[in-house]
Chain A
Amino acid sequence: MTAADTTTTRRAASPRGSGTPRRRRHRLTFDKVSFMVVFLGVPLAVYAVFVLSPFVQACYFALTRWSGFDPNPEFIGFENFVRLFQDQTFLKALGNNVILLVVIPPVTIFLALVLATIVTMGGPTRGQIRGIKGAGFYRVVSFFPYVVPAIAIGLMWLMIFDPSSGPVNSVLTAIGLDQFQSYPWLGRVLTAMPVTIFVIVWAFVGFYMILFVAAIKGIPSEIYEAARIDGAGRWRTLWSVTLPQVRSNVQTAWIYLGIFALDAFVYLQALNANGGPENSTLVMGQYLYRTAFTKNQFGMATATGVVMAIITLAFAALVFLVNHLTGGSEKEERR
């Protein structure tokens, strides 16, 4: 599709094209020049000034000592990075991001896949393959957390886990677990991180469930019918038919979730703006924000940003590599 289109465009633009209307497209008229300048120039200018140039500048500022007030930051080479990796607080934040990176994608994807499978194929195994009763309702509901602002979700759960007024503790005390009388879920090292992860997974499962539902619906039903005739049960079908078919979607989801886990700023800022008990939920984004806007160490802060970017890109590359080594999606589909 894409290739064919490109050739058409190219032929249309080629000066040797014989049709008059095609040649007219190539002539440089005022109409055409003004059109190209405005249509390409304005968006690119905005993009270059506000997106590209900050990224490029960041790479330089990361190598400087800079309080933000002097016009000429002092160039200090890689000193910021050395100091960064000697700072226990940063290492703690990095470790917390790694925990999020390891836990959130698999848990979210597993739950999303289970729910998506149930919704699309939970119906009876006899006759036509169909979804479970009320599938439409479940899909609408599952999407709620995605549309609500993340900060509102964080705040909502902050109140639900509130030590003295939150329903979690009142329910637990009501069933006789008196030790939860006023247990500070987000104020103890033991529970702060698990609760945070729970909230984030809660917020994301529905979205990925919808993605997987769309992917599963895109699988031709002949394949399922063939599997059924071959005597494949539900688990066998899920494992040998559905999973290989949605493999590339799982890869995409894994990358999105991983990139998010390396950020996670919003939720952490809502649940524990100060980094949690003993910095147990501090993440790199919060560290960067603090370094920049409360300590005014802008060189150090951009160095943190560079580390975040490198880890993010390395992670995405790793996911592609793993997927490729274990037999990439194309091979799987052709089999």
Chain B
Amino acid sequence: MSIDTETAATQPEGSDAPPARTYRKARGGGGDTVFTTVSQVLLIIWSALVILPFVYTLLASFKTSSEIFASPFALPEKPQWENYVRTWTESGIGRAMINSIIVVGSALVVVMLLGAMCAYVLARFEFPFRRAIYYLMLAGLTFPVFLAVVPLFFIMQNFGLLGTLPGLSLTYVAFALPFTVFFLYSFFQQLPQEIAEAAAIDGAGEWTTFFRVMLPMAKPGLAAIAIFNFLGLWNQFILPVALNPRPENYVLPQVMAAIAGSANYEIDYGALFAAIVIVVLPVLVIYVIFQRQLQGSVSQGTNK
């Protein structure tokens, strides 16, 4: 299109071309505006489709049941904070929130440490079966978790870990490990060899080199995979549902599932919406704070 405009500007004397040129020029400009407008409209519809359900949920969480039935997008007469109080005390969501923080928090720290250690050794040392171990790790990424669930149930039972928070945390670590190793492997491979050698000359042992030199250098990669793992584990569903049967140890997704399962009966609408908000809001806040790093890490991790 820019070429067209140039031609039009440099050759104003052409006798047979002008009609065609003006036609093309007009179409170019008009088409642009139309296209941009259509694009904007599409994107606005899409954004509305994403945002409105959340807005509706937020509004409904402050309404009485009769207000929820009356009109979907009207503001509540008077904000019903009681909904939040009821859901926090009655549905066990408060307890589940604490359990989730404990399980996901500890699993995150452990998987980052173990994942970094494993990826570092695999990426920077030469030893027998190195490739085989790496591919064995990758294999864990390809099989569906469902295949493992039943035997895992009995393994946990035999260890006395079934239904306990440390047990659940340990399975989270195990299942987040392959992707963490896979992601950090290429990261450690790219770190320059000279620095490790310099550290060795300075008398640093392998332990010191890893914790004082390599780990700090891998910080951007660690941050990206940490955010990624946090979301994955916080949203993890099948593992707790299958391996964590005791209601007092429920994590957030399980409480939500229990609420969804009972949604066909007599329900406390306001409290239900409040429960959704309690689960959604912290994640959205964390996301908005870290959104730049997260979007970066997602495209990095999957475009490789």
Interface residues of A (CB under 8 A from B): 1-2, 5, 8-10, 12-13, 21-22, 24-25, 29, 31-32, 34-36, 38-40, 42-44, 46-47, 49-55, 57-58, 61, 68, 114-115, 118-119, 122-127, 132-134, 137-152, 154-160, 164-167, 170-171, 202, 205-207, 210-211, 213-215, 218, 228-229, 231, 234, 249, 252, 256, 259, 262-263, 265-266, 269-271, 273, 284-285, 288-289, 292-293, 298, 301-302, 304-306, 308-309, 312-313, 316
Contact = CB atoms under 8 A, between A and B. Distances in A.
Contacts of B43: 115, 118-119, 122, 132, 134, 138
B298 interface: yes
A122 B155 contact: no
A165 B149 contact: no
Contacts of A159: 57, 60, 263, 269, 272-273, 276
Contacts of B216: none
B193 A149 contact: no
Nearest to A262: B144
B35 interface: yes
Given A269-B257, A270-B257, A289 B242 contact: yes
A46 B47 contact: no
A53 B54 CA distance: 41
Contacts of A298: 150, 154
Nearest to B263: A158
Interface residues of B, number: 108
A58 B124 CA distance: 34
A317 to B, nearest CB: 11
Contacts of A53: 151, 155
A44 B303 CA distance: 27
B174 to A, nearest CB: 3
A55 B147 contact: yes
Given A132-B39, A202-B50, 12 more contacts: A5-B190, A21-B197, A35-B210, A40-B117, A40-B122, A133-B40, A140-B291, A148-B280, A158-B260, A167-B73, A273-B257, A301-B150
Interface string B197-212: 1001100011100100
B287 A39 contact: no
Interface of B: 1-3, 5, 28, 32, 35-36, 39-40, 42-43, 46-47, 49-51, 53-54, 56-57, 60, 65, 68-69, 71-73, 114-115, 117-118, 120-122, 124-127, 133, 136-137, 140, 142-144, 146-155, 170-171, 173-175, 177-178, 181, 186, 189-190, 193, 197, 200-201, 205-207, 210, 231, 234-235, 237-238, 241-242, 252-253, 256-257, 259-261, 263, 269, 272-273, 276, 279-280, 283-284, 286-288, 291, 294-295, 298-299, 302-303
30 contacts: A22-B197, A34-B207, A35-B210, A36-B127, A39-B210, A42-B114, A42-B117, A43-B181, A46-B173, A46-B177, A54-B147, A54-B148, A119-B43, A125-B28, A141-B47, A144-B284, A146-B231, A148-B284, A149-B279, A150-B235, A152-B276, A155-B272, A156-B276, A159-B60, A164-B69, A229-B3, A265-B237, A266-B253, A301-B150, A305-B144
The 7 closest A-B pairs by CB, nearest first: A214-B299, A167-B72, A50-B174, A54-B148, A43-B118, A57-B151, A35-B206
Contacts of B259: 155
A39 B2 contact: no
Contacts of B155: 49-50, 53-54, 57
A202 B49 contact: yes
